[in-house]
């Protein structure tokens, strides 16, 4: 017992405490050749594709690839779901560790549920409201190729009013998951998939707007051979959706990208909330440019970007895709 106290004796009071001093200034990378305008715009474009609607494509194809007995289907959450899904959540699931007759291997589990409701008619417009959830820790592979991997949870919803030429919709998606595989990402701008905790919301129709909050890490795509991650915390309104005090030349909030050295580059635009107006004067101009930081150090030159192209990319998910039935397997 004495040995214990001896071994753990603290330094005597005679010893001089270590001078800590100011931390060394972070070294800045060589960024002379980097086109930050297009880098920020490209990473934002990639971020817009990170949602459950795209992950669902892989899940849906996976379900179609099953054969009799592989995977095993479950009514409600499967045993491996544990606390990830409420036991009375209903829905449908697969859980197995098996190989199909087509040599497709299933390992793990996946649970999902979806609803779709429509109302109205052609005279007043048809309203579609759909929701779906996907949870899982599953891998579907063919040989050494990952067909679809989903590890985490996600949900999304679509509200679509189709009144002829006056079509409006609101899409919300939250994905907290790792998603990879050839099925969801073949031909996409992110062929290797991503890991994310992104909330994405888009309003389409006559007054489009976009909101994005969260992180995205790309597994094997490097924008400009340099950047692999993006953090978005911003709101973007179109000219049609803007109020008298809104800025349409730039988003509100921040957009950050990371290179493979784990160096972060931040672009800070107008503040999103009135409480933030106490920030520096430079933040308060609506000019399409953001204050540029490299590894947290403010740069003299701003970076100006144009995200107006994002509204042309907006496309409403098909509400019918929110229901995935395995009714007649």
Partner 1 sequence: MLALLPLLACSGPDDSAPVDIPTDDGRPTPDTATFNFDTGVDTGLNDTPETTLTFVQDGRWEMSPVGGPYTSAVGVFRVLEYQDNMAPPDDTGDPGPDDDDEEVELPEGVICDATFALTATAVEGCDTCDFSFDFLFYVLDGDPSLCQDPDMPMDGETRRYGFDVDAKTVFYDYGDSGLWLEWWHGVRQGDKVFFDWTATVGWIPMEEDD
Beta carbon nearer to partner 1, 115 or 277: 115
Binding piece for partner 1, criterion CB under 8 A, among 47-55, 200-208, 231-239, 255-263: 255-263
Please, what's the b/e burial string for 141-168 (b: 16 or more CB within 10 A of its CB; e: otherwise)? bbeeebbbbbbbbbbbbbbbbbeeeeeb
Contacts of 270 (CB under 8 A, 6+ apart): 247, 250, 251, 252, 253, 283, 284, 286
149 vs 168: CA distance, rounded Å: 33
Name the residue among 237, 221, 218 with its Cα closest to residue 229: 218
Q: State in angstroms the smallest separation of the CB of 265 from partner 1.
A: 14
Q: Does 329 bind partner 1 (CB under 8 A)?
A: yes
Residue of 88, 122, 245, 300 interacting with partner 1 (CB under 8 A): 88
Query: What phi, psi does 101 have (nearest 5°)?
Result: -65, -20
Q: How far apart are CA 107 and CA 97, in angstroms?
A: 4
Element (H, E) at 204: strand 194-204
**Least CB distance to partner 1 at residue 78 (A):** 6
Q: Is 319 in the site for partner 1 (CB under 8 A)?
A: yes
> Of 92-100, 169-177, 197-205, 307-315, which part binds partner 1 (CB under 8 A)?
92-100
In the complex, minimum distance from the CB of residue 27 to partner 1, in angstroms, rounded to a whole number: 4
Contact with partner 1 (CB under 8 A): which of 34, 116, 170, 286?
Answer: 116
Q: Is 82 in the site for partner 1 (CB under 8 A)?
A: no
Residue of 53, 95, 256, 291 interacting with partner 1 (CB under 8 A):
95
Contacts of 183 (CB under 8 A, 6+ apart): 57, 58, 61, 62, 140, 147, 148
CB of 146 to partner 1, least distance (A): 5
Using CB under 8 A as the binding rule, whether residue 123 contacts partner 1 is answered as no
* Nearer Cβ to partner 1 (117/306): 117
Among 6, 22, 274, 278, binds partner 1 (CB under 8 A): 6
What is the smallest separation between the CB atom of 115 and partner 1, expressed in angstroms?
7
In the complex, what is the shortest distance from the CB of residue 85 to partner 1, in angstroms, rounded to a whole number?
11
What DSSP letter does each residue of 235-296 carry, written as one string?
EEE-TTT--TT---SS-EEEEEEEETT--EEEEE-B-SSGGGGGS-GGGG--SSEEEEEETT
User: What are residue 188's phi and psi, to 5 degrees?
Assistant: -90, 165
Q: Which of 114, 54, 91 is nearest to 322 (CA)?
A: 114
For position 22 contacting partner 1 by CB under 8 A, the verdict is no
C-alpha dist (Å) from residue 53 to 194, 314, 315: 14, 13, 11
User: By CB under 8 A, is residue 296 in contact with partner 1?
Assistant: no
Q: Coil, strand or helix: which one is 116?
A: strand
Q: Which is nearer to partner 1, 3 or 278 (CB)?
A: 3
Binds partner 1 by CB under 8 A, chosen from 43, 52, 70, 231: 70
Site for partner 1, rule CB under 8 A: 1, 3-4, 6-8, 18, 23-24, 26-30, 69-70, 72-79, 87-88, 90-93, 95-99, 105, 107, 113, 115-118, 128, 139, 141, 144-146, 149, 178, 180, 195, 217, 219, 228, 260-262, 319-320, 323, 325, 327-329
């Amino acid at each position: 017992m004495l040995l214990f106290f001896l071994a753990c004796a603290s330094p005597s009071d005679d010893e001089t405490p270590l001078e800590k001093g100011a931390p060394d200034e972070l070294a800045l990378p060589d960024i002379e050749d980097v086109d930050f305008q297009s880098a920020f715009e490209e990473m934002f474009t990639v971020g817009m594709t990170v949602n459950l609607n795209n992950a669902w494509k892989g899940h849906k194809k996976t379900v179609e690839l099953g054969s009799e007995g592989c995977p095993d289907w479950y009514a409600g959450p499967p045993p491996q779901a544990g606390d990830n899904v409420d036991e009375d959540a209903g829905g449908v699931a697969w859980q197995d560790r098996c190989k199909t007759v087509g040599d497709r291997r299933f390992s793990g589990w996946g649970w999902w549920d979806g609803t779709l409701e429509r109302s109205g008619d052609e005279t007043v417009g048809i309203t579609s409201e759909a929701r779906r959830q996907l949870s899982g820790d599953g891998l579907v592979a063919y040989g050494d190729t990952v067909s679809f991997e989903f590890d985490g949870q996600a949900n999304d919803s679509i509200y679509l009013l189709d009144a002829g030429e006056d079509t409006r919709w609101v899409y919300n998606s939250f994905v907290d998951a790792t998603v990879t595989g050839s099925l969801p990402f073949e031909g996409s701008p992110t062929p290797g998939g991503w890991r994310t905790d992104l909330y994405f919301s888009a309003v389409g129709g006559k007054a489009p707007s976009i909101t994005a909050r969260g992180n995205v890490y790309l597994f094997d795509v490097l924008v400009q051979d340099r950047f692999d991650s993006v953090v978005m915390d911003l709101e973007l309104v179109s000219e049609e959706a803007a109020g008298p005090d809104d800025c349409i030349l730039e988003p509100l909030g921040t957009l950050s990208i990371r290179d493979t050295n784990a160096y972060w580059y931040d672009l800070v635009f107008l503040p999103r909330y009135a409480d933030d107006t106490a920030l520096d004067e430079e933040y308060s101009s609506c000019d399409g440019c953001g204050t540029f930081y490299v590894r947290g150090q403010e740069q003299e030159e701003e970076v100006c970007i144009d995200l107006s192209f994002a509204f042309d990319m907006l496309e409403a998910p098909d509400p019918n895709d929110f229901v995935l039935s395995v009714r007649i397997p």
